[in-house]
Amino acid sequence: MAAEIITACLAAGAAVASAIWAARASTRATKISAAADLNAAKLEAAFNEERLRREFQLEYASERVAHKLLSDERWPLRTFDTLSRHLAGFEDDALRQLLVRAGAIKFDGADGYEYWGLFERNQERLGVRYVPGPAPANSYDEFIYEETACAGSILAGQD
């Protein structure tokens, strides 16, 4: 009978030891899994941070270029076509949003064109329904206006 008690105690001790060992192994596996998840999360966060930084740099650089284009003393207003040629790679509405972030405001031209200029340079034009067009002579905008008008007349069969 004493042998049976000793055998039962040893079996119970072995079961307890086995349970403790399994719990420790499970805890280690959980810790390793948690560490792997943490590392994956850190890598993903670093990747997203780099992506956002690059997007912000592109957007900020584009706004800076748009502001410089609109700051040229020769042209207080630029046509949307000219701006879209210089700032290629943007959909029309995305470019309009970029121009607004750069400090520009939109004007409708009497010639049917869309003009943009910096707010601080065009405050006297606020409230004007249509700005006179085309752009000043000898400007790049004037060249584009003439080029577009010529192309339109050729396409319409008016040589």
The pLDDT value recorded for residue 155 is 42
The total of structural domains in the chain comes to 1
> Among the ranges 48-57, 99-108, 125-134, which has the highest mean pLDDT value?
99-108
- Exposed e or buried b per residue across 103-129, where buried means at least 16 C-beta atoms within 10 angstroms of its C-beta: bbbebebeeebbbbbbeebbeeeeeee
Contacting residues for 26 by C-beta, under 8 A, at least 6 apart: none
Report whether pLDDT(144) > 80: no
Beta strands in 29-94 (DSSP E): 78-79
Domain range spanning residue 69?
1-159
121/67 Cα distance (integer angstroms): 11
pTM listed for this prediction: 0.53
Q: Taking Cα atoms as reference points, which of 136, 101, 96, 137 lies closest to residue 116?
A: 96
**Residue 118 pLDDT exceeds 80:** yes
pLDDT digits (tens, 9 = 90+) for 36-87: 777 777 878 887 888 877 777 777 888 999 999 999 999 899 999 999 999 9
pLDDT (0 to 100) of residue 115:
95
Backbone angles phi, psi at 136, to 5 degrees: -55, 150
